Amino acid sequence: MVTVKVPATSANLGPGFDTLGLALALYDELQVSVRDEPGATVEVIGVGAGEVPTDESNLVVRAIAHTFEAVGHPLPGLELVARNNIPHGRGMGSSGAAIVSGIMAAKGLLDGIVEFDAQRLLALANDMEGHPDNVAPALFGGLTIAWVTPEGPRFKKLIVHRGVSPLVLVPEHVMSTALARSLQPQSVPHEDAVFNVSRSALLVAALIQSPELLHAATEDKLHQSYRASAMPETDRLITLLRENGFAAVVSGAGPSILVLCSDPSQRLAAAELVAQKSETRWQPLMLAVDFKGATVTATAERQSDTPAA
């Protein structure tokens, strides 16, 4: 048996479209046992119970199968217990976490047989997710910069300044990542591209060194305005928060809102403002930054607690 723990993530962070991602201290946990019978069964506890598949079509099982196939090993029979806390369809990296859970479970099951370095783990996850901005922080924790080369995806992990206090405001409604991406134009004005390059560079500095710059650093002209029509309440509240000095952005593809505060008291004020002014219910999640990333622990004959990197 192996046990896997994977953090939620928020991608883009405003200007860092498909590049920047942040790991958050909210976790999905997975137990995987090998059995004699072929196939796989999944018990889902918490988020997604009664909604997600519980057979071989489950995304976690598919990620395990993808990893075994990639290294040329036959897939054994599996029993999975998934304890999910990451909201689905809310822009907090639930699909990336499921993929990383499966890959890390396979890593644990193949411990001592196949070696997986950080680049191999990221490549396997990117194969399934299609872009590395969510799976990189889920695997490695902290703030990650991810990019793609002809040789595959790459990442750099950075440690976030201790003053940064994330707040995620989660609505009851969901948003399709595919729909959000379909609203993106194929090209953008040159001045908008330059604007985002400057803000992305500033955002890295703000997150690791100068949190007082977070408001200016989270401005964006590449994706949020194009997606606003699909989530008008998200757009309205982000505008309200930013007008009041809060560094608010769309979390991933939305519709959740990420507020990057420079101290814990600031996020209390942001949550109170939304509670007063929102037309629908938004759940405030006051989360720490996760610095460890995904872990896998063997609970059978040998014990190990191995972070992805």
Burial 141-168 (b: 16+ CB within 10 A, else e): bbbbbbeeeeeebbbebeebbeebbbbb
φ, ψ (nearest 5 deg) of residue 148: -120, 135
According to the annotation, is 171 in a ligand binding site? no
Alpha helices in the chain (DSSP H): 59-70, 94-109, 118-129, 135-140, 177-182, 190-208, 214-217, 224-227, 232-243, 264-277
For 189, the 3-state DSSP assignment is: coil
CA dist., res. 13 & res. 27, Å (int): 19
According to the annotation, is 92 in a ligand binding site? yes
According to the annotation, is 91 in a ligand binding site? yes
CA dist., res. 12 & res. 170, Å (int): 17
According to the annotation, is 293 in a ligand binding site? no
State both tokens at 270: 């942001």
CA dist., res. 33 & res. 240, Å (int): 48
Query: Could you give the strand order of the β-sheet that contains 257-261, starting from the edge strand earlier in sequence?
Result: 248-250, 257-261, 165-171, 282-286
According to the annotation, is 87 in a ligand binding site? yes
According to the annotation, is 21 in a ligand binding site? no
Q: How many helices (H) and strands (E) does the chain have?
A: 10, 12
* Cα 119 versus chain centre, distance: 18
According to the annotation, is 90 in a ligand binding site? yes
According to the annotation, is 256 in a ligand binding site? no
Q: Which of 39, 117, 118, 49 is nearest to 74 (CA)?
A: 39
According to the annotation, is 102 in a ligand binding site? no
According to the annotation, is 198 in a ligand binding site? no
According to the annotation, is 48 in a ligand binding site? no
CA dist., res. 291 & res. 138, Å (int): 10
Annotated binding site: 87-97
Residue numbers in the known binding site for ATP are 87-97
